Amino acid sequence: MMQKQCDMNDVPAIELHNAAMSYGGRTLFRDVGITLAQGSFHFLTGPSGAGKTTLMKLCYGALRPTEGRVSVFGEDTGHMSRDEIARMRRNVGVVHQDCQFVDHLSVSENVLLPVKVSGAVAEDLDANLSELMGWVGLTNLADHRPAELSGGERQRAALARAVILSPDVILADEPTGNVDWEMSLKILNLLIELNRLGKTVLCATHDMSLIRQAKTRVSARVLRLRGTSIELAGAEL
């Protein structure tokens, strides 16, 4: 068990190995090799349509690369069964680009969904939930329907849901997509806090000011999709 623990710490949270992705013959990217070490903070940027969301989906097994492989904690997603993918997602919290809620459930019920589907019998669930709702600033909106939330509130609800099982990895796809600067900073702060708790964070965004802001506070790396390849962006940001 100890041995395994030591090994586990060396394994990258997420690794892409010569990954290529194409939709019906159109290649989005190829030969992509990236390594997200545990506890690291990465931004993923690139023009709209470059394939940020697609790359995110590779990371949580919603898509499989057309070539190469993707590993999550050393496990090749291509070799995982559907149930293994499902269980892997409990350790990889996803904030989807358009949030995705179950519309007829309340905000807090949506946030609790990962707990319900995992069948985990969590003690202090109510306390944890209200703490989490307080952390994202949605205490007053817990009983509302997702449709009644503003864009920024939806993003924070999605983030709360992504972290309720205390996953090791957070994948956030444009979490500041359609919110103002102040709200963007709030959401960024939440991600930075999570990273300080040791979580691996990958955040897709095309908001350069947000990235610059983040870099003053954490040692975040920036991956940029350009053409069909990915590069580590340097100081020009």
Partner 1 sequence: MNKLLDLLRGDTEADRVVPPTGFTVLLTLASSAAMAFLAVFVLALALSAGRQASAWEDALSDTATVRISAPADELEAQANAVETILAQTPGVGATHRLTADEQAQLLAPWFGEELPLDTLRLPILIEVSLDGEGPDPQGLRQRFAAEAPGAVFDDHGRWRAPMIDAASGLKTISLIALLLIVAVTGVTIALAASAALAANGQVIDVLRLVGAEDSYITRAFVRRFTLRTLIGAIGGTVVGLIAVALIPNVSLDGAVSDVGLRGFEWLLPFLVPVGAAMLAFGATRFAATRRLAEVS
Ligand X SMILES: Nc1ncnc2c1ncn2[C@@H]1O[C@H](COP(=O)(O)OP(=O)(O)OP(=O)(O)O)[C@@H](O)[C@H]1O
List residues near Mg ion by CB under 5 A.
52-53, 97
Cα separation, 237 vs 209, whole angstroms: 9
Q: According to the binding rule CB under 6 A, does residue 224 interact with ligand X? A: no
Q: According to the binding rule CB under 6 A, does residue 181 interact with ligand X? A: no
Q: According to the binding rule CB under 6 A, does residue 25 interact with ligand X? A: no
Q: According to the binding rule CB under 6 A, does residue 53 interact with ligand X? A: yes
Can you point out the beta strands (E) in the chain?
A: 14-23, 26-36, 41-45, 67-72, 75-76, 92-95, 169-173, 200-204, 220-226, 229-232
The partner residues of 109 in beta bridges, in order of sequence, read none
Nearer to ligand X, 24 or 234 (CB): 24
Q: Which two tokens stand for residue 70?
A: 């993707």
Site for ligand X in 193-212 (CB under 6 A): 206
Q: According to the binding rule CB under 8 A, does residue 128 interact with partner 1? A: no
Interface segment toward partner 1; rule CB under 8 A; list 10-18, 115-123, 193-201, 212-220: 115-123
Q: What is the DSSP string of 93-160?
A: EEE-TT----TTS-HHHHHHHHHHHHT---TTHHHHHHHHHHHTT-GGGTTS-GGGS-HHHHHHHHHH
Query: Least Å distance between CB 56 and ligand X?
Result: 8
Query: Least Å distance between CB 22 and partner 1?
Result: 17
Among 37, 165, 185, 192, the residue binding partner 1 under the rule CB under 8 A is 165
Q: According to the binding rule CB under 8 A, does residue 125 interact with partner 1? A: no
Q: According to the binding rule CB under 6 A, does residue 50 interact with ligand X? A: yes
Query: Least Å distance between CB 44 and ligand X?
Result: 9
Q: According to the binding rule CB under 6 A, does residue 172 interact with ligand X? A: no
